[in-house]
């Protein structure tokens, strides 16, 4: 794309934009351009931030770092380079070990991943496809390792990033420099490139 479909608002354009910028400084170290694009309709950005907080909240075994790894797997499946870079950056910031990040696509056999985590990543790949590819076998495997509330948490992350994947790939959101640098550093060996998100 020659430019994003809609340009983001300036972070100081409104009081709401300033407050949102402060919130994301903690999670990513910057506020995503996608949020400033949503700010053209503040109710959308406000609703998204609340959903993001609810979905990414750490309730126990589905840890903050695992949720970000899951977000990466889901985004990689849909092909959203913007969200891949954001998710992998957040996974590292929330405690994912470099060994896991380096071998995340070997999750089915690599010893750093548990059987429960393998079930989550299988679900993420199947649920992130169109048409949806979740089967009885995938569902049964999830129920074997996780309770209903945990499954809801997992699917919440997949659904949240489904929204973000569509938003950012369709919008052609410009990838911020810190996320682009992390994409290059962590993901490039596996074939990642910035694609349409560079202007």
Residue 71 to residue 90: CA distance in whole angstroms: 9
Residues 152-175 pLDDT 10s? 999 999 999 999 999 999 999 999
Residues 3-50 pLDDT 10s? 999 999 887 777 777 777 777 777 788 889 999 999 999 899 989 989
Residues 49-79 pLDDT 10s? 899 999 999 999 999 999 999 999 999 999 9
Q: At 144, is the secondary structure helix, strand, or coil?
A: helix
Residue 165 to residue 186: CA distance in whole angstroms: 19
The position carrying tokens 């910028």 is 21
Q: At 58, is the secondary structure helix, strand, or coil?
A: coil
Residue 51 exposed, middle or buried by CB count within 10 Å (0-12, 13-18, 19+): middle
**Which of these ranges, 27-36, 88-97, 111-120, has the smallest mean pLDDT?**
27-36
Please state the separation of Cα 103 from the chain's center in Å.
18
- Please say if the pLDDT value at position 119 is more than 80: yes
Residue 34 to residue 6: CA distance in whole angstroms: 10
* Interval 81-87 mean pLDDT: 97
Say if residues 70 and 154 touch (Cβ distance below 8 Å).
Answer: yes
Residues 127-150 pLDDT 10s? 999 999 999 999 999 999 999 999
């Amino acid at each position: 794309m020659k430019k994003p479909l809609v340009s983001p608002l300036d972070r100081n354009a409104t009081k709401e934009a300033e407050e949102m910028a402060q919130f994301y400084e903690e999670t990513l170290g910057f506020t995503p351009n996608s949020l400033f694009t949503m700010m053209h309709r503040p109710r959308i950005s406000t609703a998204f931030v609340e959903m993001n907080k609810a979905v990414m909240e750490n309730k126990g075994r589905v840890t903050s770092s695992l949720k970000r790894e899951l977000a990466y797997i889901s985004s990689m499946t849909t092909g959203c380079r913007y969200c891949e870079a954001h998710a992998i950056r957040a996974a590292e910031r929330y405690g994912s070990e470099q060994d896991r990040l380096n071998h995340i696509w070997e999750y089915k056999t690599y010893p750093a991943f548990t059987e429960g985590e393998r079930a989550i990543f299988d679900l993420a790949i199947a649920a992130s496809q169109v048409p949806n590819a979740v089967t009885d076998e995938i569902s049964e495997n999830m129920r074997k390792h996780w309770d209903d509330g945990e499954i809801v948490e997992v699917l919440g992350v997949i659904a949240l990033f489904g929204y973000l994947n569509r938003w950012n790939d369709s919008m052609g959101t410009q990838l911020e420099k810190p996320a682009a640098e992390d994409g290059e550093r962590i993901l490039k060996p596996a074939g990642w490139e910035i694609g349409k998100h560079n202007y």
